[in-house]
Amino acid sequence: MIERQEFRLAGKYRRCAYYIFAAALLAPPLVWWISNKDSVSQDLTALCVVWSFLLFISVCFLLWLFRWRLTVDSRGISRRRFLGWRHWPWECFQNGNARQRRLPSTFVFVWDCQSLKPLSFLYLEDKDCEYLLNFCRSLMPPITPLDTDDEIAFTVPVRPSFGTRVRCCSGGITVRLWRTAWTFSWSDVEQLTIKRWSHFHDDFYHLSLQLPDRQVVLRCDVRDGSKLWFGPKPEVITALFLKYVPPSRVMICAEQGITLSRKELGERRADIEKMLLSLRKARIIATLGYFAYICYFLVWPLIKMLPLKTSWDYCINFIIVLYLLGIGILIYAPFFSVSRRLRKKLDEIASQETDMPPQTNKDNKHPIK
């Protein structure tokens, strides 16, 4: 029997609600005071309408934050929203349908529980987040060998294996693209790479099967874990491949958990460096868009308002500068936050490589990188 417990948002997020409420409460009187000080006539009706709108939005946001609750009881986990509740039963964890993704504090639900929204503990206090994560993990079933059929078939409708139909059985692999078919034995497999979010699960989010003259790639949607192919579940495909592919040509790596080999560390490092490169490109595009936004909303209005004569003009420009500065922080803060986390992971990988004893792989014709 699980005792009922309630968890609130972390204190730093509740303080943000106070700041927003104070800004909405003080901004209109400040504008009215500046306009009266410079004897500039302002429409009080319009000012009251704007003030009422700001107060309404801030009060709704304040109520939403302080009504937010995460409740744990014998039925499962429930989260109170502004109107109504959202529920996640314990059965979704016990039957193995819960998966952790790139954010360790977030669970997504697949297969039978795919209709459920992701469950995140990211906005709780650190101790509450760690407690709930450990409790949910304790409910998950351990990985057990899966009894699968000796023959499976699947079709890949996305790039880079668009339109490829694959049939696997104990005798080998048949790859069919339109009207052309190729047959390979299991000894022809050059490399099988399975990438998982965690070693706690036997699924994958990316599988690459390297054959002598072609490559078969299977991917899952990183947002909700749904498979991007027509065919059996990832667990079934993984079980069959691990059953017939020579162990020396299999590499399994995970984003989280204990690292098993230097080769897995190398794959982790390559993935992180690829993400950092994509992040730089996105930051360059965001910078160009931000400068265009500044030129349109700041430079052009300033040119039209010159020369600035009253305190009202200076106040308007000051508000515009603060607004654009806030937009810039909202744009760049996620980039710097994600980049800092990725570089921290690179440092952890470097320290793990230093502490890990050297390995040899004489039997594998694909040497450890």
Three-state secondary structure along 234-247? HHHHHHHHHHHCCH
- pLDDT category at 179 given cuts 50, 70, 90 is confident
- pLDDT category at 285 given cuts 50, 70, 90 is confident
Question: What percent of the chain shows pLDDT beyond 90?
Answer: 8
Domain 151-256 in CATH 1.20.272: no
- What is the enclosing helix (H) or strand (E) of 126? helix 126-139
- Tell me, what's the pLDDT at 90? 92
Going by C-beta distance under 8 Å and a sequence separation of 6 or more, which residues neighbour residue 231? 152, 153, 154, 155, 237
- Tell me, what's the pLDDT at 95? 84
Q: Residue 144: pLDDT above 80? A: no
Question: What percent of the chain shows pLDDT beyond 70?
Answer: 69
- Tell me, what's the pLDDT at 361? 47
CA distance between the termini of the chain: 50
- Tell me, what's the pLDDT at 321? 64
> DSSP 3-state assignment of 89?
strand
Q: Residue 165: pLDDT above 50? A: yes
- Tell me, what's the pLDDT at 369? 35
Token readout for 273 is 């460096």
* Predicted confidence (pLDDT) per residue in 334-344, tens digit: 677 678 777 88
- pLDDT, mean of residues 110-131: 81
Q: Residue 365: pLDDT above 60? A: no
- Tell me, what's the pLDDT at 312? 60
Q: Which of 80-94, 131-145, 274-288, 308-322 has the lowest mean pLDDT?
A: 308-322
Closest to 213 measured CA to CA, from 173, 253, 254, 182: 182
Going by C-beta distance under 8 Å and a sequence separation of 6 or more, which residues neighbour residue 88? 76, 77, 78, 109, 116, 119
User: For the residues of 150-196, what is the DSSP string, one character each?
Assistant: SEEEEEE-STTSTTEEEEEETTEEEEEETTEEEEE-GGG--EEEEEE
Closest to 18 measured CA to CA, from 67, 61, 80: 61
- pLDDT category at 10 given cuts 50, 70, 90 is confident
Q: Is residue 157 a contact partner of residue 215, using CB atoms and an 8 Å limit?
A: no
- Tell me, what's the pLDDT at 367? 38
- Tell me, what's the pLDDT at 31? 63
Q: Is residue 132 a contact partner of residue 72, using CB atoms and an 8 Å limit?
A: yes
* Predicted confidence (pLDDT) per residue in 66-117, tens digit: 888 899 998 999 998 777 888 999 988 888 788 776 666 788 787 667 678 8
Residue 283, CB half-sphere, CA atoms under 13 Å: how many?
A: 15
Q: Residue 322: pLDDT above 50? A: yes
- Tell me, what's the pLDDT at 346? 83
Q: Where are the domains of the chain?
A: 5-139, 151-256, 266-355
- Tell me, what's the pLDDT at 299? 62
- What is the enclosing helix (H) or strand (E) of 324? helix 311-355
Q: Which of 34-43, 45-54, 221-230 has the lowest mean pLDDT?
A: 34-43
- pLDDT category at 308 given cuts 50, 70, 90 is low
The CB density around residue 190, as the number of other CB atoms within 10 Å, is: 13
Q: What residues form DSSP beta bridges with 154?
A: 166
* Predicted confidence (pLDDT) per residue in 184-215, tens digit: 999 999 999 888 877 777 788 889 999 988 88
Q: What is the mean pLDDT of the chain?
A: 76
Closest to 11 measured CA to CA, from 126, 97, 115: 126
- pLDDT, mean of residues 177-190: 88
In single-letter form, the type of residue at position 32 comes to W
- Tell me, what's the pLDDT at 189? 92
